[in-house]
């Protein structure tokens, strides 16, 4: 706590500063209708669209087609899809540029973490975009599909901190 106070130059106005730190903490949140997990907010689209349309849908909300970087994040996504009883969703992963090199669309970074269904990806140049399929036997693992197939988007964005008071 002392470290935090020094970081925000609290000086002698310590009580006020603690109050402001409280305000800042509560200000970091997700927009209405978005679900929080760690430092990201997620929205699960209700309409089936192509991969490209899905990326545009997310951009419209200052978000990107989801980047899944850990088993914990992947399990969180699966748990929401189970709750929504929703079957098939695009994630932001594509090998459209170099066949077999799967990159996150919005960052152009090669995926370190993946959760392909056994034997996937299996369609080579005919399938350059990745989706999560809830139903058995796939059970929330990933598949490669034709980018013009139509599935629901999962969008991700950072926490909304624009109302922050401290640190001006």
* Piece of the chain touching Ca ion by CB under 5 A; list 50-58, 75-83, 107-115, 126-134: 126-134
Residue 10 or 41: the one with the smaller Cβ distance to Ca ion is 41
* 115 lines the binding site for Ca ion (CB under 5 A): no
Does position 95 interact with Ca ion (CB under 5 A)? The reply is: yes
Which of 82/122 has CB closer to Ca ion?
Answer: 122
Q: Contact between 74 and Ca ion (CB under 5 A)?
A: no
Which x/- pattern, by CB under 5 A, does the window 27-66 give for Ca ion? Answer: ----------------------------------------
Residue from 65, 81, 128, 151 in contact with Ca ion (CB under 5 A): 128
From the CB of 129, what's the least distance to Ca ion, in Å? Answer: 8
Least gap, CB of 93 to Ca ion (angstroms) = 11
Give the nearest distance from C-beta 4 to Ca ion in angstroms. 26
Q: What's the CA gap between 22 and 19, in Å, rounded?
A: 5
**Residue 160 C-beta: closest distance to Ca ion, Å:** 16
User: Distance of CA 47 to CAs 33, 54, 59, 87, Å?
Assistant: 16, 10, 16, 12
Which member of 21, 65, 67, 147 binds Ca ion (CB under 5 A)?
67
Q: What is the closest distance, in whole angstroms, from the C-beta atom of residue 104 to Ca ion in the complex?
A: 9
Distance CA(127)–CA(147), nearest Å, equals 7
């Amino acid at each position: 706590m002392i470290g935090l106070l020094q970081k925000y130059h609290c000086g002698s106005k310590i009580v006020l500063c603690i109050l402001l730190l409280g305000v800042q903490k509560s200000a970091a949140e997700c927009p209405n209708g978005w679900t929080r997990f760690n430092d990201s907010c997620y929205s699960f689209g209700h309409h089936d669209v192509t991969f490209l349309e899905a990326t545009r849908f997310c951009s419209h909300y200052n978000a990107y087609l989801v980047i899944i970087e850990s088993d914990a994040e992947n399990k969180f996504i699966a748990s929401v899809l189970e709750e929504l009883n929703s079957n098939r969703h695009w994630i932001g992963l594509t090998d459209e540029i170099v066949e077999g090199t799967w990159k996150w669309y919005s960052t152009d970074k090669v995926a370190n973490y993946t959760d392909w269904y056994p034997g996937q990806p299996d369609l080579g140049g005919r399938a350059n975009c990745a989706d999560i399929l809830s139903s058995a036997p796939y059970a929330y693992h990933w598949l490669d599909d034709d980018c013009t197939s139509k599935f629901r988007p999962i969008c991700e964005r950072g926490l909304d901190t624009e109302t922050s008071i401290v640190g001006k």
